[in-house]
Amino acid sequence: MTPVPTAPVDLTLDSTPSSSTATWTAVPGYAYQCQVSNGSSVPAAAEWSPCVSPFTFVPKNGNQTFFVRAVRGSSSSTPASVNFKP
């Protein structure tokens, strides 16, 4: 049985209008998936993309939420998130 991953810890986000960088403490043996959303709802399964810390992206206008979750096998953690406005 694959253990359920725990949520990434120490999630921080530095954001400017032209660039945002999220960092978190990665745990060996886990993969990570990220998503940037214009809302605070947890993204659907198909909307997640593989990522590593640090993760840099170009923010969109308006309020946004950055999500990251740990993945191992077919199990995923509850996402960690941070709301921001560039």
Mean pLDDT by 10 residues, the chain (86 residues): 62 82 87 86 83 88 86 84 82
CA–CA separation, 6 vs 70, rounded Å? Answer: 7
Q: Cis link prior to 17 (omega < 30° from 0)?
A: no
CA-based torsion, 38, 33, 80, 85: positive or negative: negative
The whole-number pLDDT of residue 1 equals 46
CA–CA separation, 44 vs 25, rounded Å? Answer: 24
Alpha helix segments (H runs only) across 1-86: none
CA–CA separation, 81 vs 86, rounded Å? Answer: 15
Homologous superfamily assigned to 9-84: Immunoglobulins (2.60.40.10)
